Structure 1
Amino acid sequence: MEQTIISKKDLAKRWSVTEEHISTLEAKGILTRTEIGRCTYPMEQVNSVEKSGRTVALEEELFVLRQENNSLKDDIRRLKSVIKSITQTF
């Protein structure tokens, strides 16, 4: 019998991503949970996403966004320091 659904844990293993990433795909509407008790996804949809290549692209996008976010946080820290030093001189 062919598998018709897959659990979040098994799907994360299959795609070599975290379960959090699977949740992100779900939040973006790329995956839709089944209405069956536990968190599962239809294999037909999983196969379609695999064919589109979106599993890898989203992981790369998240990596870039995290790097940009960290860079912006560093900029904010530096700017706060500059503002603090300016206000202390007045």
Structure 2
Amino acid sequence: MAKTKQKTPLERHDEIKRSNPGVVLLFRTGDFYEAFREDAEIAARVLGLTLTTMTKSSDDPVTKVGFPFHSLDDSLRKLIEAGYRCSICN
């Protein structure tokens, strides 16, 4: 029986994002919610957070931003008040 390759968290994120276009996807990773690529840029601007890069050595680096899970209510409120639709993935 062949082993099925497990998806990385970023691959899973991208799959969920494709099936939920038009939302800022907040993806739970451990004790943090993270946003990637365009969503990270939006969240960084609205929430006053600093963007980081996951794959600095890549030709196509992936930007990300994160905040502690206990800040979800406040962060979600700010994003919605700024006019964004949001989706949460735990």
Query: So what's the TM-score if we normalise by structure 2?
Result: 0.34
Q: In proportion to residue count, which structure has more helix?
A: 1
Q: In proportion to residue count, which structure has more strand?
A: 2
Query: So what's the TM-score if we normalise by structure 1?
Result: 0.34
